Chains A and B, each alone.
Chain A
């Protein structure tokens, strides 16, 4: 069964600190690794994504680090702000039931940035 394991389940970081969320996957056929951000009462929204042939991608304060040999990837939020408080999901794209491509999500990390 395809799995994406995400940790920690919850995370509290002081304003200005670095938030780090980790994910690990098993299926080497996954070909795309997005991160989604979800605020309360809203749907998840794409934050940043990476392909497995790249080891790092940075967009503003958000960076994905990707380790293909270890089958791990992580999200780093630099200079974390209270507005970053949300639930973060890692995901991986691959074949789902029925043979169609789709995203498998990690279980989410509830991030709280304390002022």
Chain B
């Protein structure tokens, strides 16, 4: 069973379109994240939700809107896509307040904006 699963794995779209990426975790973790990995492999946190509540919102354009319907799901909706949004988006989860607080990542969703 995949612990953190993301769909779709690949997404190719035109500038100006709106797209969504979905994430689900079956680890029972309370916290979920979205990270963006650019072409240089740099990993940058975008959002974090703890038990459906937004707790981290780094400097991200408001075209990006996360939504957590329950603590096992965290979706990312992107409006008016731009060329610079092309990247790999990783969902991750963790259990806070534990000794390890280890992040478990999904396999990533590669977004290409043409």
Q: Show the binding face of A for B, using Cβ within 8 Å.
A: 32, 34, 36, 38, 41-46, 49, 87, 89, 93, 96-105, 107-108, 110
Nearest A residue (CB) for B41: A108
Which residues on B are within 8 Å of A, measured CB to CB? 4, 33, 40-45, 48, 50, 55-59, 90, 92, 96, 100-108
Write out the residue numbers on chain A whose beta carbons fall within 8 Å of the beta carbon of B100: 32, 49
B4 and A43 contact, CB distance less than 8 A: yes
Do A44 and B45 touch (CB < 8 A)? no
Residues of A within 8 A of B56 (CB): 96-98, 100, 102
Given contacts A43-B4, A98-B55, A108-B42, 6 further A-B contacts (CB under 8 A): A96-B56, A97-B59, A100-B48, A100-B50, A102-B56, A105-B42
* Min CB–CB distance B65 → chain A (angstroms): 16
Known interface pairs A97-B56, A100-B55; A44-B96 also in contact (CB < 8 Å): no
A-B contact count (CB 8 A): 68
Q: Can you name 21 A-B residue pairings with CB atoms under 8 Å?
A: A32-B101, A41-B107, A41-B108, A43-B4, A43-B90, A44-B90, A44-B103, A46-B104, A49-B102, A96-B58, A97-B57, A97-B58, A98-B55, A100-B48, A100-B50, A101-B101, A102-B56, A104-B45, A105-B43, A107-B40, A108-B40
- Cβ–Cβ < 8 Å partners of B45 in chain A: 96, 102-104
A104 to B45, CA, bound (A): 8
* Across-interface contacts of A100 in B (CB, < 8 A): 48, 50, 55-56
Do residues B103 and A103 form an inter-chain contact, with CB atoms below 8 A? Answer: yes
* Cβ-closest 4 pairs across A and B: A43-B105, A100-B55, A105-B43, A108-B41
